[in-house]
Amino acid sequence: MEERAVPDLATPLIAWFEQSARDLPWRRPGFSAWGTLVSEIMLQQTQVARVVPRLEAWLTRWPTPADLAASPPADAVRAWDRLGYPRRALALHAAATAIAERHGNVVPRDVDELLALPGIGDYTARAVAVFAYGDRHPVVDVNVRRVLARSVLGQGEPGPAKAKVDLPLMASVLPADRDAAARTNAAVMELGALVCVARAPACDACPIADRCAWRAAGYPEHDGPRAPRQAKFAGSDRQVRGMVMAELRASDVPVNRSEIDLVWPDAEQRARALASLLRDGLVVGDDVSGYQLPVA
């Protein structure tokens, strides 16, 4: 990454965050590292408003990793309900089992140890280390990348993710102080979620508008590569997968293939969705014994 002068974004962002941040469970004093891990996995590609009630119910039922590990994976999938991408529920169950068995039921602090857990990627590992333990690491999601692209690079859009560029750029914005660095990570995310949004950003309400390179350049149109956009949900294989999962979640006994055939009219797409669920381990069974959520 080429050398560039990075403005002081942390000072105004922290002041803004302390006044304007949403009151969310994972930001409250005493919130557990396990709760942080669960929230970060739930928040992947899912809106905050949908996550909060499901998170609170999840942590009431399974307040520690060992509590979740003691339940069958099917319970985790059922509790995931309609949050989407239910593979995350299986990954979380596997991570809980590993934490209970390898780490004495305590979510590890070290990024490398977090990365060694099943289903935990670079973003989630850094987010837990920063937001649960207060360590100094750059944490980068799509909102952060958008804020940095605009404020530092002068670009209207961040383009495709590139960890070798994105992480050092965010690191260059962080103060040396650990607590201030953690608050800066959270503040940049919040700014991207509430103010510096993808469409119609509220620049007049932005605490760093006076030092935003994109604004200073007159809001030039983005002419570089664009980040891939998610395919439409309606009519997609994702929708059919969700309908099959809903049918199985509603039953405590194996579901016959004939019942699954009723959830979607396109036989080829329905078969493709079922096959992918079997591959992902979200469904077990066959046409003879019926289909159900994983039991072990």
Cite the active site residues. 40
Looking at residue 16, its amino acid is W
The two tokens of residue 213 are 């390179």
Helices (H) and strands (E) in the chain, counts: 15, 2
255: β partners: 291
CA–CA separation, 40 vs 61, rounded Å? 18
Block residue for tokens 């944490």: 139
Which CB contacts under 8 angstroms, 24+ apart, belong to 23-32?
Answer: 24/48, 24/52, 25/52, 25/55, 25/56, 26/55, 26/131, 27/186, 31/132, 32/59, 32/63, 32/107, 32/132
CA–CA separation, 287 vs 69, rounded Å? 29
CA–CA separation, 119 vs 176, rounded Å? 30
Residue 255 — φ and ψ, nearest 5°? -100, 130
Block residue for tokens 């005493």: 30
CA–CA separation, 32 vs 35, rounded Å? 5
Beta carbons of 211 and 8 less than 8 angstroms apart: yes
CA–CA separation, 146 vs 248, rounded Å? 39
Greatest CA separation for the chain: 66
Beta carbons of 183 and 17 less than 8 angstroms apart: yes
The two tokens of residue 287 are 């046409």
CA–CA separation, 179 vs 131, rounded Å? 10
